[in-house]
């Protein structure tokens, strides 16, 4: 039983670290959403690509963790307006839909995921 408690504690800490990182990315995205993706420097574009890949990978690796999913979708939702092409090029649309199917009874997850899809589809860059 002691080993199980240790394992649970490690999982809780891992979740906290992931959620903290996703919240930071959401804040950065929210603060930088006024600048267009086209005017960003090459370094900024590379860093944004890493961030988007990271968020999508975390969402794919933790499909049943509601906290991680909701926080990840909040971050993606903020990025979706200005970085649509980047998100879709890394499979963002299918990732969102798959995660929604994994937790259909979670209203907060569904709300954030729908917000992400709405922003992706209503972006001026959608379908570009």
The model's pTM: 0.75
CB 76, CB 87: distance < 8 Å: yes
pLDDT of residue 30: 59
Who contacts 40 (Cβ-Cβ below 8 Å, separation ≥6)? 48
Q: Per-10-residue mean pLDDT for the chain, 128 residues long?
A: 57 74 71 56 82 91 91 90 91 96 95 95 70
């Amino acid at each position: 039983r002691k080993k199980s408690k240790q394992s649970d504690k490690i999982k809780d800490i891992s979740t906290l670290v992931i959620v903290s990182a996703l919240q930071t990315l959401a804040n950065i995205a929210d603060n930088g959403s006024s600048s267009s993706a086209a005017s960003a420097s090459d370094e900024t574009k590379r860093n944004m690509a890493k961030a988007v890949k990271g968020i999508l990978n975390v969402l794919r690796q933790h499909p049943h963790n509601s906290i991680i999913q909701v926080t990840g979708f909040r971050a993606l939702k903020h990025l979706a307006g200005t970085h649509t092409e980047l998100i879709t090029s890394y499979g963002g649309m299918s990732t969102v839909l798959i995660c929604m199917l994994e937790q259909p009874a979670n209203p907060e997850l569904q709300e954030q995921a729908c917000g992400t899809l709405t922003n992706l589809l209503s972006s001026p860059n959608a379908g570009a």
